[in-house]
Amino acid sequence: MTRLSVNINKIATLRNARGGNIPNVKTAAINCELFGADGITVHPRPDERHIRYRDVLEIRPVIKTEFNIEGYPSDKFIDLVIAARPDQVTLVPDAHDAITSNAGWDTQRYRLFLTDVISTFKAEGIRTSIFVDTIISNIENAAYTGTDRIELYTEPYAAIFDSDAPGAIEPFITAARIARDAGLGVNAGHDLNLDNLRYLCQNIPWLEEVSIGHALISDALYLGLENTIRMYKRQLSD
């Protein structure tokens, strides 16, 4: 079954809006796992506008399942990941001022850079994943970097799902097959929600992990965190 990793960035955003430590992101991480999440994802950015670097180090010891750190591989980020030693690091090509991830890597242009970064993490025993779109050449070149997995950037899928679900999923099925044939594990994330998640997983049953934050935390405001996580898990298992 596809695993659910809950991105808790938005909880940190709420905390930072007021200052102090309410809501407590470490407690949130513990509760997400208690309520059924298969892992926790954090995406620290250079301005620390949500998850702070200190949060990452404080959360790491309490994670009992999987811990995934996303981010652009700057020197500071690399040092943080090595210090935290997560189960997985997901490399994203975000500009320092990006509001949210909005593109995958050009793995041909940045192939040597990514290969070097990935070798650093793999030497530390950390599984690696590269955030990519469905362009076939980007997936093929991702395989040459030595990465363990890719994470498919699913915003284009979510954007047209309501109007054309078969058309929305088709390039993602093709991309996932190419990745699988190249020996890569396949994750997915961005704009996945209770409406479009099941269809994605039904059509790509070898999908290993989805990382979901914004929609899940937003749903939790209305439905409760425990109930929401269970609802997302049902989308992955039904």
Report the chain's mean pLDDT, rounded to a whole number.
Answer: 95
Domains in the chain and their CATH numbers? Answer: 3-237 (3.20.20.70)
Tens digits of residue pLDDT in 164-208: 999 999 999 999 999 999 999 999 999 999 999 999 999 999 999
Active-site annotation holder among 50, 66, 190, 209: 190
Does residue 124 carry a catalytic annotation?
A: no
Those residues with Cβ within 8 angstroms of residue 50's Cβ, 6 or more apart along the chain or in another chain: 9, 10, 12, 13, 16, 43
Q: Yes or no: say if 197 and 236 are a contact pair by the CB < 8 Å rule.
A: yes
Give 4's strand partners.
210
pTM attached to this predicted model: 0.94
Provide the pLDDT confidence category of residue 104 given band limits of 50, 70 and 90: confident
Does residue 208 carry a catalytic annotation?
A: no
Tens digits of residue pLDDT in 46-71: 999 999 999 999 999 999 999 999 99
Cα separation, 25 vs 50, in Å, equals: 10
Active-site annotation holder among 33, 43, 50, 151: 43
Q: Which amino acid is at 18?
A: R
Does residue 70 carry a catalytic annotation?
A: yes
Q: What angle, rounded to 10 degrees, do the helices at 25-34 and 225-237 form?
A: 40
